[in-house]
């Protein structure tokens, strides 16, 4: 977005957008809640009086938030959750529209937090005494499952892989160990060698396509492949707003690529200017490798993802303009 579009966006909103882009706010669920919070702040701080101007201001805020990271579908889903209700509200006054944004943003945040708690409750039922669990990256939904299992007194151990290059596995380690869960950090390269001791794998999701494929942190599909080879159940814990409605109409999920400096240091890059680095930060796990997806509305097999999409988002909610075919093509 050009400077003009940013000029009247409040600093707090710009800071949230930057925090998402630079991964100080990360993880699909937190990104979605932060986006909703940013929209609420934007509405609260808006000082104009014209309802149409308010709408274009909120469109600009949406564009800014959507430009931060491309993969986690929770972000556009959160933004359109608010924008859809704003657009369908009667433009009585800016005060009224502001109230709509604030209420709907709060509603999304609350719904999201409840979903994570419900997934924890449902997912914890899959953990049995003596289980050894493996997880990849840092997922609030997976942490919720494991903490809930601990609350219920289940005795289990966790392997958290490091998740290079950004080491989100260390966040998982800290979260779980501070909760009294028996957790061991392993390098990503040790996944195959520990898998024979593992009973269940749990990972989160950034996006779920209508065919049940799961997009999550780079390395997830390798973990899934190894789990499949050793017949270890592979569970995905994901709120329903991680399902991508646009995949139902053929849109692909964009896999974010980040700076080479996340893989090797800037100094090293300067010394080796011709080095080529590829840093995709998510990958796609096909539905064949996924045992089940744990959502807040129940545990579903991956191939039923399209039903969740039509159930939760409604058949006509994908933002596709309805157009008849040209007259000459009509039958
Ligand atoms: C985070 C990541 C997480 C999912 C699910 O990637 O891939 O596994 O977002 O997390 P990044 P949650 O660190 O690049 O944002 O369950 O917290 O939504």
Buried b (16+ CB within 10 A) or exposed e, 235-271: bbbbbbbbbbbbbbeeeebebbeeebeeeeeeeeeee
Q: Is 182 a catalytic residue?
A: no
Q: pLDDT at residue 193 above 90?
A: yes
What's the rounded mean pLDDT across residues 192-197?
A: 98
Q: pLDDT at residue 1 above 60?
A: no
Take atom 12 of ligand 1 and give the residue whose Cα is closest: 139
Separation of CA 52 and ligand 1 centre (Å): 36
Q: Which one is catalytic: 137, 151, 175, 283?
A: 137
Separation of CA 203 and ligand 1 centre (Å): 9
Kindly state whether residue 326 falls inside one of the protein's structural domains: no
Boundaries of domain holding 304: 125-318
Kindly state whether residue 324 falls inside one of the protein's structural domains: no
Co-location of 163 and 291 in the same domain: yes
Q: pLDDT at residue 173 above 60?
A: yes
Question: Do 1 and 64 touch, CB atoms closer than 8 A?
Answer: yes
Contacts of 48 (CB under 8 A, 6+ apart): 54, 57, 94
Co-location of 200 and 84 in the same domain: no
- Lowest pLDDT segment from 111-120, 208-217, 228-237, 307-316: 307-316
Q: pLDDT at residue 328 above 90?
A: no
pLDDT value at residue 4: 47
Question: Cβ(26) to ligand 1 under 6 A?
Answer: yes
Q: pLDDT at residue 321 above 50?
A: yes
Q: Which one is catalytic: 161, 206, 270, 283?
A: 206
> Which of 118, 134, 164 corresponds to the end of one domain?
118
Closest atom, ligand 1, to C-alpha of 217: 7
- Render pLDDT for 69-118 as a digit per residue (tens, 0 to 9): 999 999 999 999 999 999 999 888 999 999 999 999 999 999 999 999 99
pLDDT value at residue 92: 86
Cα 150 vs. chain centroid, distance in angstroms?
24
Q: Could you give the residue ranges of the DSSP H alpha helices within 196-304?
A: 220-229, 266-271
Question: Cβ(281) to ligand 1 under 6 A?
Answer: yes
| Substitution site in 21, 73, 74, 138 for ligand 1 pocket (most atoms within 8 Å of beta carbon) | 138
Co-location of 143 and 199 in the same domain: yes
pTM for this prediction: 0.94
- 320 or 173: whose pLDDT is higher? 173
By percentage, how much of the chain surpasses pLDDT 90? 89
Co-location of 151 and 71 in the same domain: no
Query: What is the C-alpha separation between 201 and 134, in angstroms, rounded?
Result: 5
pLDDT value at residue 271: 94
Query: What is the C-alpha separation between 136 and 204, in angstroms, rounded?
Result: 8
Co-location of 141 and 274 in the same domain: yes
Kindly state whether residue 78 falls inside one of the protein's structural domains: yes
Number of domains, the chain: 2
Kindly state whether residue 138 falls inside one of the protein's structural domains: yes
Co-location of 173 and 312 in the same domain: yes
Take atom 10 of ligand 1 and give the residue whose Cα is closest: 139
Take atom 16 of ligand 1 and give the residue whose Cα is closest: 139
Query: What is the C-alpha separation between 290 and 301, in angstroms, rounded?
Result: 8
Average pLDDT of the residues of the chain:
94
What's the rounded mean pLDDT across residues 63-74?
A: 98
By percentage, how much of the chain surpasses pLDDT 70? 94
Q: Is 206 a catalytic residue?
A: yes
- Render pLDDT for 148-158 as a digit per residue (tens, 0 to 9): 999 999 999 99
Query: What is the C-alpha separation between 243 and 318, in angstroms, rounded?
Result: 12
> Which of 57, 89, 118 corresponds to the end of one domain?
118
Take atom 1 of ligand 1 and give the residue whose Cα is closest: 27
Co-location of 195 and 268 in the same domain: yes
pLDDT value at residue 256: 98
Co-location of 169 and 241 in the same domain: yes
Kindly state whether residue 207 falls inside one of the protein's structural domains: yes
Question: Cβ(17) to ligand 1 under 6 A?
Answer: no
Co-location of 14 and 90 in the same domain: yes
Closest atom, ligand 1, to C-alpha of 282: 7
DSSP single-letter state for residue 255:
P
């Amino acid at each position: 977005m050009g400077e003009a579009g940013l000029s009247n966006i409040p600093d707090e909103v710009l800071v949230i957008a930057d925090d998402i882009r630079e991964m100080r706010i990360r993880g699909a669920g937190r990104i979605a809640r932060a986006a909703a919070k940013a929209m609420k702040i934007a509405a609260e701080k808006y000082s104009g009086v014209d309802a149409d101007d308010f709408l274009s201001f909120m469109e600009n805020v949406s564009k800014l938030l959507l430009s931060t990271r491309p993969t986690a579908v929770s972000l556009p889903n959160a933004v359109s959750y608010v924008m859809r209700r704003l657009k369908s509200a009667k433009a009585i006054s800016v005060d009224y529209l502001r109230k709509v944004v604030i209420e709907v943003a709060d509603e999304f945040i609350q719904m999201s937090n409840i979903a994570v708690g419900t997934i924890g409750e449902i997912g914890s039922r899959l953990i049995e005494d003596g289980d050894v669990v493996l997880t990849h990256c840092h997922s609030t939904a997976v942490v919720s499952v494991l903490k809930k299992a601990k609350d219920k007194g289940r005795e289990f151990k966790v392997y958290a892989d490091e998740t290079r290059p950004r080491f989100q596995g260390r966040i998982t380690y800290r979260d779980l160990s501070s909760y009294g869960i028996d957790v061991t950090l392993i390098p990503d390269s040790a996944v195959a060698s520990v898998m024979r001791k593992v009973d269940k794998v749990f990972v989160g999701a950034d996006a779920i396509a209508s065919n049940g494929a799961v997009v999550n942190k780079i390395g997830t599909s390798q973990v899934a492949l190894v789990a499949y080879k050793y017949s270890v159940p592979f569970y995905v814990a994901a709120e329903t707003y991680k399902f991508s409605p646009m995949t139902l109409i053929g849109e692909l999920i964009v896999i974010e690529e980040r700076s080479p400096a996340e893989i090797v240091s800037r100094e090293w890059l300067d010394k080796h200017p011709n080095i080529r680095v590829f840093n995709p930060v998510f990958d796609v796990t096909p539905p064949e490798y996924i045992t089940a997806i744990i959502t807040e509305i129940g545990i579903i097999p991956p191939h039923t993802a399209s039903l969740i999409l039509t159930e939760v988002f409604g058949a006509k909610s994908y933002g596709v303009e309805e157009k008849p075919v040209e007259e000459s093509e009509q039958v």
